[in-house]
Amino acid sequence: MSPHAPTHYQVALADVNAHVFEVRCDVHQPASDGQRFRLPTWVPGSYLIREFARHFVDVRGESDGKSVAVAKEAKDAWRAAPCAGPLTIVARIYAFDLSVRTAYLDARRAYFNGGALFLCPEGRESETCTLEIILPQREPFLAWRCATTLPRSGDGLTFRADNYDALIDHPVELSDFTPGEFVAGGIPHELAIAGRHDADLPRLERDLARVCQWQADLFGSSPPFSRYLFQVMAVGEGYGGLEHRSSTSLLASRNGLPAPGMEEPSDAYVNFLGLASHEYFHAWNVKRIKPAAFTPYDLSREGYTRQLWAFEGITSYYDDLALVRSGVITASKYLELVGRVVTSVLRTPGRHVQSVSASSFDAWIKFYRPDDNSPNAGVSYYLKGSLVALALDLLLRSEARATLDDVMRLLWRRYGEPGVGVPEAGIPAAVAEVAGRDVGEFFARYVDGTEDPPLAELFASHGIMLDLRRASGPTDRGGKPAAAGTETRNALGVKLGNDLRLQHVFSGGPAEVAGLAPGDTLVALDGVRASQDAVAGMLERLPDGARIVVHAFRRDELMTFALTLAAAPLDTAFLTIDAAASTESRRRQSAWLGTPEPL
Ligand code: ZN
């Protein structure tokens, strides 16, 4: 029993054209010295202080028909003057962010994460709350549906949450979205696709059902939720996802949804399925198996952990693996995706500067705040983290007749199911237990250190060859062999934008040695006006070691640089199945990829 009547929230679409929600919060017995309210500064799953309070237009209080003064006490805190109660706080919030992290309102759609709208009465965090959503009783709102996994509590749009954390972990979608449904793991799954799209819904339901079923089977017991919802916002260009305990919000390109009649999944659709698979895996790995630093979340400040490489990296490893293991993509497509990740990491000089555990810890100030120098000074705990997870899986498979799946099941039993936070040393301890040996050296070198995991060797033990080549142009993401004669001969050591501006200048490359800097705009190379074609042609025709004069603008000043060309690095990876591999290696390969056993 709660000592108080539940905190009651009411959301109204105050002005859809001004993108303003009005949110009322009723507190029946406010604190006698004046009730204080707080708003989260970040949302779990996205590790940056976002200051949701900056979108609050105004906050006022009322009680018994009279106004109650409300004073701001901190960037994220308000205090109402003492009153007998019940107290109502009324906030107006500007909501026009299409991302999956905050809130959005126009005449076509309302969407919100509770943390962006709901003030939390201090001291009442663990108490039950109720929510009521009021839609205008006119078109177009009469045609709107509501998609959320918040438990309903009666008729209409009324809901109930066990506590504030639960209230803000079920985002709400209101629009005339396309509904879909399927069953996986014996549990009903729903889809809500908002935005213009022409998706082949039965195809999407069928493919997602296979991926979800595979993940539920991996963890063994029935899913730790009684229903699951994929909220999808289809847009022209956009990509993002955020995990919740029994739902996920995805922002996706409408071209990434399956076109009617599509047979082999397109690259864009595989990308979408990978995103959906990623967020679904999080329902286990980070929403329930979660770092001790997040139990409970302190949403008023940064939550530090060195384990994001595991919660994001292992999840990134399983997102695409689930696609091949569930039969939604072929083994060769999967190997292409892995080759692209290896390529992306190889093109990051910062992988030898920052470890994935350090990248995890500094997510708040580095990974979520990338700048000109990020590729030289840091590494993605998603990408390198997924390669560390891959290396662990292949290592366990080749030497211990165990798998990373066994580690995940152990983590689930030990931490996820009982709701215990994973201590900072919990993951290596679980791996050591499954491996049956000390794995300190592996973690010291590849997780806390900056070495590349020994992938070539591990792939070889699974009958797969990892080859490196030069890139064949700026759009080459790797994953496949190059067509004959297309590999670039030389490189400048830069990432060049379409506007000929240097977005990144890579450590130790010819451009950095010559003195070029991020932000410089190329004007001429060797006396010839710069263009994408001219740059590509010159890199192809001149021998390495050739010296050229580069003209570039730094801000508005024309500068001249003497640059010595260097051979393009072997930074583009692709994987091929080794037809001559031993039977044992090919058996391991089949077990890993879920392909038929070799004869
Ligand atoms: Zn993630």
Could you read off the pLDDT of 142-166 as tens digits, one per residue?
999 999 999 999 889 999 999 999 9
- Cβ–Cβ under 8 Å, residues 482 and 502: no
- Given this model, what pLDDT does residue 155 score? 87
Question: From the CA of 339, how far away is ligand 1's center (Å)?
Answer: 20
Question: From the CA of 440, how far away is ligand 1's center (Å)?
Answer: 26
Question: From the CA of 209, how far away is ligand 1's center (Å)?
Answer: 20
**pLDDT band (50, 70, 90) for residue 171:** very high
**pLDDT band (50, 70, 90) for residue 86:** very high
Question: From the CA of 230, how far away is ligand 1's center (Å)?
Answer: 15
- Given this model, what pLDDT does residue 3 score? 58
- Cβ–Cβ under 8 Å, residues 124 and 4: yes
Supply φ then ψ for residue 106, to 5 degrees.
-150, -170
E strand map for 125-276: 129-134, 145-147, 158-161, 172-175, 178-184, 187-194, 228-235, 240-243, 247-253
Mean of the pLDDT values across residues 300-323? Answer: 98
Question: From the CA of 118, how far away is ligand 1's center (Å)?
Answer: 24
Question: From the CA of 48, how far away is ligand 1's center (Å)?
Answer: 14
**In this model, does residue 439 exceed pLDDT 90?**
yes
CB atoms within 10 A of CB 578: 16
**In this model, does residue 298 exceed pLDDT 90?**
yes
Question: From the CA of 288, how far away is ligand 1's center (Å)?
Answer: 13
Q: Give dist(CA 95, CA 111) in Å, integer.
A: 9
**pLDDT band (50, 70, 90) for residue 23:** very high
Q: Coil, strand, or helix at residue 191?
A: strand
Q: Give dist(CA 506, CA 254) in Å, integer.
A: 34
Residue among 127, 199, 201 at smallest CA distance from 162: 127
E strand map for 213-359: 228-235, 240-243, 247-253
Question: From the CA of 45, how far away is ligand 1's center (Å)?
Answer: 7
Q: Give dist(CA 298, CA 384) in Å, integer.
A: 27
Question: From the CA of 125, how far away is ligand 1's center (Å)?
Answer: 26
Supply φ then ψ for residue 542, to 5 degrees.
-85, 150
Q: Coil, strand, or helix at residue 51?
A: coil
The edge-to-edge listing of strands for the beta sheet with 158-161 is 66-68, 56-63, 87-94, 20-27, 7-15, 129-134, 158-161
Question: From the CA of 312, how far away is ligand 1's center (Å)?
Answer: 5
- pLDDT tens for 120-139 read 999 999 999 999 999 999 99
- Cβ–Cβ under 8 Å, residues 406 and 361: no
- pLDDT tens for 540-597 read 999 989 999 999 999 999 999 999 999 999 999 999 999 999 999 999 999 999 999 8
**In this model, does residue 599 exceed pLDDT 80?**
no
Which residues, 6+ apart, have CB-to-CB distance to 132 below 8 Å? Answer: 8, 9, 10, 11, 156, 157, 158, 159
- pLDDT tens for 352-380 read 999 999 999 999 999 999 999 999 999 99
Supply φ then ψ for residue 131, to 5 degrees.
-135, 140
**In this model, does residue 461 exceed pLDDT 70?**
yes
Residue among 318, 285, 302, 245 at smallest CA distance from 48: 302
Tell me which H or E stretch contains 377.
helix 374-377
Question: From the CA of 424, how far away is ligand 1's center (Å)?
Answer: 19
Mean of the pLDDT values across residues 20-41? Answer: 97
Question: From the CA of 502, how far away is ligand 1's center (Å)?
Answer: 30
* Preceding omega of 296 cis (within 30 degrees of 0): yes
Structure tokens at 429: 């301890």
Question: From the CA of 276, how far away is ligand 1's center (Å)?
Answer: 10
- Given this model, what pLDDT does residue 485 score? 87
Mean of the pLDDT values across residues 444-463? Answer: 98
Lowest-pLDDT choice from 55-69, 291-305, 324-338, 481-495: 481-495
Residue among 84, 82, 116 at smallest CA distance from 99: 116
Residue among 592, 212, 594, 598 at smallest CA distance from 402: 592
**pLDDT band (50, 70, 90) for residue 85:** confident
Question: From the CA of 38, how far away is ligand 1's center (Å)?
Answer: 26
**In this model, does residue 414 exceed pLDDT 60?**
yes
- Cβ–Cβ under 8 Å, residues 24 and 108: no
Question: From the CA of 205, how far away is ligand 1's center (Å)?
Answer: 22
Q: The pTM is what?
A: 0.97
Mean of the pLDDT values across residues 115-124? Answer: 98
Question: From the CA of 338, how far away is ligand 1's center (Å)?
Answer: 17
Residue among 226, 481, 227, 192 at smallest CA distance from 336: 481
CB atoms within 10 A of CB 585: 18
CB atoms within 10 A of CB 559: 15
Question: From the CA of 243, how far away is ligand 1's center (Å)?
Answer: 7
Question: From the CA of 315, how far away is ligand 1's center (Å)?
Answer: 6
> ∠ CA(426), CA(430), CA(436), 5° rounding?
145
Question: From the CA of 286, how far away is ligand 1's center (Å)?
Answer: 8
- pLDDT tens for 181-211 read 999 999 999 999 999 999 999 999 999 999 9
Question: From the CA of 407, how far away is ligand 1's center (Å)?
Answer: 19
Q: Give dist(CA 45, CA 312) in Å, integer.
A: 9
**In this model, does residue 1 exceed pLDDT 50?**
no
- Given this model, what pLDDT does residue 157 score? 97
Question: From the CA of 195, how far away is ligand 1's center (Å)?
Answer: 23
Find tokens 């062999």 and name the residue. Answer: 481
Question: From the CA of 314, how far away is ligand 1's center (Å)?
Answer: 9
Tell me which H or E stretch contains 203.
helix 201-219
**In this model, does residue 2 exceed pLDDT 60?**
no
Question: From the CA of 279, how far away is ligand 1's center (Å)?
Answer: 6
Question: From the CA of 313, how far away is ligand 1's center (Å)?
Answer: 8
Question: From the CA of 112, how far away is ligand 1's center (Å)?
Answer: 19
- Given this model, what pLDDT does residue 154 score? 87
Question: From the CA of 15, how far away is ligand 1's center (Å)?
Answer: 33
Torsion of CA 417, 359, 248, 42, to 10 degrees: 100
> ∠ CA(326), CA(431), CA(292), 5° rounding?
95
